[in-house]
Homo-oligomer: A and B are copies of this chain.
Amino acid sequence: MINKERLKRTQKRMRDEGIDAYLILTHDDYIYFFGEDRYQPRVVIPAVGMPMIITFRGEENEIIESLGVDDVRIFGTVGQQIKEVVELMRQMKGDKPDLTIGVQMWFSTPAFLLNTFQKTNPQVNVVDIAPVMDGLRMVKDKEEVELMRRAGEIASIGMGVAVKTIRPGITENEVAAEVEYAMRKAGGHGTATPVYVNSGIRSGWLHGTATDKKIREGELVVVDLVPRYQGYCANLCRTFVVGTPTDKQRELFSVYKSAQEAGIKALRPGIPMRDIDNAAKAVFDAAGYGNFYVFGISHSIGLGFEETPDPTIHLTDSMMEILEGMTLTVGHSVLSVPGVGGVRLEDTFHISADGVVALTSFPTELAL
């Protein structure tokens, strides 16, 4: 069912920004408004009035019933879908001199769709919807935090299975199989990223999908999990060593752990995101690893596994102020040292009215 409260707040912001309609092309905002997902999420939200949904014809009746939206246009092919959108735009424009349409410009927006839309709608002014949606999405309501807490529990269950499963001779992919399965069995609805299990030299990668590489005694293993629960994500990452860690491995781990703790300690409303980075970087600097520091140790998370503010993607987001209600991860940056490997620890937090609350929970121990 459509969330009318969220719709109302969005439309108010759209009018303030001079945006006539928001064309939804991505899953996250579809779930934000309707609480469920579709294969091809296509909705036009006007600045005033009810949304118009463009859906596959087999889903028409069911959409009308379950979402509480009357204006449903149906398509049988992608061509028809585009035609419906163009037709809607023409109707909305009418005799107005121009029409301003907001579209999400983020990694998940397909360039193909956006280009097609611009080509077929030359009379329409396309702008980024971020000034409208970012402000709403970054501050979570109670219901959203609860879904993320569930996702966090599922991540912790997955990590527990990783600890029990990792042993010399098992492949990264075999570990991923057990972890993925455990998270589904725990109620998770798939994952927002692949299940990352990166061992040995691959622990120093930015991320690597789990491969058929066998995990060997003495290797660093980074396990990074982003399960979804009803669309919402939590991020939990730990690094392990199979067998007895070397002094160098212990050192990297200890430095990273201190840096993450410093970042978490700094977390509070009213400070800019970069203060979290500064707190973490001070630890890396003091330990002589400052040159290995990758900027952006904290980012927002919710329906997107990375969303605004996200200084790792948009450096200017580091100036954004942390607000009560945000959900942020701390520990995003990998400490990757050539010849040794990589260490990363990441957890998810809610900046609540009563202080910072962890949404993920798992012991931070290097040895398995």
Contact = CB atoms under 8 A, between A and B. Distances in A.
Interface of A: 36-40, 56-62, 76-79, 103, 105-115, 173-174, 176-177, 180-181, 184-185, 187, 189-190, 194-195, 201, 204-212, 294-296, 312-315, 334, 336-339, 342
A315 B77 contact: yes
B58 A334 contact: yes
B108 A109 contact: no
A313 B109 contact: no
B38 A205 contact: yes
Nearest to A189: B173
**From A37, A109, A184, A194, residue with most partner B Cβ within 10 Å:** A184
Given A58-B205, A189-B210, 16 more contacts: A58-B338, A58-B342, A60-B338, A62-B201, A62-B205, A77-B294, A77-B296, A77-B312, A77-B315, A78-B315, A103-B111, A173-B187, A173-B189, A174-B184, A180-B184, A190-B194
Contacts of A37: 208-209
B211 A189 contact: yes
A78 B77 CA distance: 36
B184 A177 contact: yes
A73 B206 CA distance: 15
Contacts of A176: 184, 190
A76 B292 CA distance: 9
A174 B183 CA distance: 11
Contacts of A60: 338
Contacts of A313: 78
A59 B176 CA distance: 22
Given A58-B336, A177-B181, A189-B211, A205 B296 contact: no
Contacts of A115: 105, 111
Contact of A205 (B39, B190, B201): B39
A18 to B, nearest CB: 20
Contacts of A207: 39
Contacts of A190: 176, 194-195, 209-210
B205 A56 contact: yes
A184 B161 CA distance: 16
Contact of A208 (B39, B109, B110, B296): B39
A59 B177 CA distance: 25
A294 B209 contact: no
14 contacts: A40-B206, A57-B336, A59-B205, A59-B336, A77-B315, A78-B312, A79-B315, A105-B112, A106-B111, A107-B110, A109-B112, A111-B114, A174-B185, A181-B181
Contacts of A295: 76-77
